[in-house]
């Protein structure tokens, strides 16, 4: 390919100066006086490569500037077409990457599909762009669609003459992690072995994360042990994996091994360590590690560290200590902290402290529907109707609707999705029969069905609904019917699991001798022989 000639469109430094000045100002966006029409007037005519210009635009100082970046980027794109460079691969890659970074996925896809030649950089940008969209998607369903599209692009890459590299593998393994797509992840793992990329530390760490987030801690541990070299990120990933799966002692032992070989931990490492202490109720050890972090490693505590310690006190029923610890924080507690305290107060029956924490949480005007549902359930169960009306009004003011409860399960590369009381799935009769049978078998073992409280009209009347047809129960039952007897069941859920479903799956894991793995909006739940990896403190609704 011939080298890209420089094009007379302006001075890079001038563009960068103007762009950063007008996107970092405190003025409201609509009042900023630098508009896209100034592009030609502002820039002195000297040589500038199109890719240089697009690089300046896409690397704006904050994401609010994306609208502004796009308006200028569109002009540069238009100019490249007028001057005959639309077929230049490097220019097209830069434009496509700009669209991806600003969230214009459909435009990036249109550009991608129209390209005559595609480089590996192009494939990687499309996969990474969709992976990025999963992180910033409005809801779990949108994130899931972006992830599935990334998998499809990866399959297209494999059918082409191009060969994936470490960037491809790390991106697609991240997608598999987010989708709990273990079958796809295993196929990618095999491909890394065949192509010789398994020895790369980035790929190895991505495999650890993928297996952990898909619920297979044994394979995550095996992938970690087989790594020829390990970075701080590798160690931290494995420590966090052990912690999330309730393997507290293994997490802490691995942390000591990490220190022994001279790898310095960071903030995230200590979140994993403190979380492990929280799961195991190791108060003295947690406080010692907290002091070690501050004094030995000079790491300033952040909100996540305090959340781990408060979670620990709450799990142990030490609510007074938890509230006292909040007072010692150097900054105001956020929604996560207050939600933990409310969940603890509900679990341990201390409604007085729970109502206090609820007021603090409401004062933050949270934007998350799940937070309001948690508060509604607490006020409903206590018969505090004025508070119910107040929370409902706040939800209306914030324009928050009902929770979008969806669950999905992937079986033989096909995704099956469910919503509450879903009658659209073909074998819904078989699903109903199986759920009824499991319910009858669970009751003699001690299971008691708990209906969910909901407000059904403007008069704030309380109604109790059965949770037997919650989306995750339908998905798990469908999985039990359509997978081999010994296979684990892996389900994704768009919101937090309710208490009744969480309790129900503990019994089902015993009755069916299956591992049931559910990733909800808050955390991973792995049910094995009547126990959950979250330590029975994972559901807030």
pLDDT tens-place string over residues 311-347: 999 999 999 999 999 988 888 999 999 999 998 898 8
Q: pLDDT band at 369, cuts 50/70/90?
A: confident
Out of 136-140, 160-164, 261-265, 356-360, pick the least confident: 136-140
Identify which has the larger pLDDT, 517 or 426: 517
SS3 514: coil
Number of CB atoms found within 10 A of residue 158's CB: 15
Measured CA angle at 30 (ends 27, 32), to 5 deg: 50
Hey, where are the domains in the chain?
Answer: 1-118, 328-401, 407-532
Rounded CA-CA distance 364/336 in Å is 11
Number of CB atoms found within 10 A of residue 263's CB: 18
Whether pTM exceeds 0.85: no
Share of the chain above pLDDT 90, in %: 49
Q: pLDDT band at 25, cuts 50/70/90?
A: very low
Contacts 24+ apart (CB under 8 A), 275-278: 275/240, 275/243, 275/244, 275/251, 275/308, 275/311, 276/239, 276/242, 276/243, 276/247, 276/248, 276/251, 276/252, 277/248, 277/252, 277/308, 277/312, 278/308, 278/309, 278/311, 278/312, 278/315
The neighbouring-strand residues paired with 455 are: 462
| φ/ψ (deg, to 5) at 429 | -65, -45
Contact 173, 180 (CB under 8 A): no
Identify which has the larger pLDDT, 280 or 460: 280
pLDDT tens-place string over residues 129-177: 888 888 877 777 788 888 999 999 999 999 998 899 999 999 999 999 9
User: H-type helices in 230-318, by residue range?
Assistant: 232-244, 248-260, 267-280, 283-295, 303-315
Task: Report how far Cα 266 is from the mean position of its chain's Cα atoms.
Answer: 21
Q: Is the pLDDT confidence value at 499 over 80? A: yes
Phi and psi based region of residue 349 (left: phi greater than 0; alpha: psi -120 to 50; beta: remaining): left
Contact 209, 177 (CB under 8 A): yes
Out of 23-32, 176-185, 355-364, 474-483, pick the least confident: 23-32
Q: CATH topology for 328-401?
A: 1.25.40
Cα torsion for 290, 332, 356, 388, to the nearest 10°? -120
Identify which of 353, 331, 335 has the alpha carbon closest to the alpha carbon of residue 344: 353
């Amino acid at each position: 390919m011939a080298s890209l000639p420089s094009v007379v469109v302006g001075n890079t430094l001038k563009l960068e100066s103007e762009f950063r000045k007008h996107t970092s100002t405190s003025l409201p966006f609509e009042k900023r006086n630098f508009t896209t029409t100034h592009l030609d007037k502002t820039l002195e005519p000297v040589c500038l490569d199109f890719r240089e210009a697009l690089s300046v635009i896409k690397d704006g100082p904050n994401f609010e500037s994306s609208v502004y970046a796009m308006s200028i980027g569109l002009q540069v794109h238009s100019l490249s077409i007028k001057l005959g460079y639309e077929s230049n691969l490097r220019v097209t890659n830069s434009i496509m990457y700009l669209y991806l970074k600003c969230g214009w996925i459909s435009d990036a896809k249109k550009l991608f599909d129209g390209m005559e030649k595609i480089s590996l950089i192009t494939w990687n940008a499309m996969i990474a762009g969709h992976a990025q969209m999963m992180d910033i998607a409005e809801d779990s369903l949108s994130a899931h669609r972006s992830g599935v599209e990334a998998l499809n692009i990866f399959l297209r890459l494999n059918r082409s003459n191009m060969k994936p590299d470490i960037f491809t593998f790390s991106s697609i393994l991240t997608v598999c992690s987010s989708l709990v797509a273990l079958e796809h992840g295993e196929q990618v793992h095999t491909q890394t072995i065949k192509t010789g990329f398994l020895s790369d530390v980035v790929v190895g760490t991505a495999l650890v994360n993928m297996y952990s987030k898909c619920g297979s801690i044994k394979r995550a541990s095996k992938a970690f042990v087989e790594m020829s070299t390990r970075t701080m990120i590798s160690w931290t990933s494995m420590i966090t994996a052990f912690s999330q799966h309730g393997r507290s002692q293994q997490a802490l032992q691995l942390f000591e091994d990490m220190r022994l070989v001279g790898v310095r931990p960071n903030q995230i490492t200590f979140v994993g360590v403190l979380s492990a202490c929280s799961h195991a109720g190791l108060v003295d050890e947690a406080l010692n590690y907290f002091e070690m972090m501050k004094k030995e490693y000079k790491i300033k505590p952040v909100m996540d560290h305090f959340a781990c310690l408060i979670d620990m006190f709450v799990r142990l029923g030490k609510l007074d200590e938890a509230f006292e610890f909040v007072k010692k924080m150097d900054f105001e507690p956020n929604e996560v902290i207050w939600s933990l305290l409310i969940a603890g107060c509900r679990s341990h029956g201390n409604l007085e402290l729970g109502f206090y924490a609820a007021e603090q949480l409401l004062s933050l005007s949270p934007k998350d529907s799940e937070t309001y549902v948690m508060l509604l359930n607490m006020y409903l169960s206590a018969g505090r109707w004025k508070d119910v009306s107040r929370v409902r009004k706040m939800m209306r003011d914030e324009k928050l609707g009902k929770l979008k409860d969806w669950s999905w399960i992937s079986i033989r590369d096909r995704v099956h999705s469910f919503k509450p009381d879903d009658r659209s799935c073909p074998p819904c009769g078989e699903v109903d029969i199986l759920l009824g049978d499991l319910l009858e078998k669970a009751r003699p073992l001690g299971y008691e069905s708990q209906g969910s409280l909901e407000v059904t009209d403007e008069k704030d009347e309380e109604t109790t609904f059965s949770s037997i047809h919650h989306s995750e129960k339908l998905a798990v039952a469908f999985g039990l019917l359509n997978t081999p007897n010994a296979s684990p069941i892996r389900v994704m859920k768009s919101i937090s699991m309710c208490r009744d479903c969480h309790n129900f799956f503990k019994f089902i894991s015993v009755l069916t001798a299956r591992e049931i793995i559910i990733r909800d909006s808050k955390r991973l739940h792995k049910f094995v022989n009547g126990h959950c990896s979250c330590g029975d403190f994972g559901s807030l609704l």
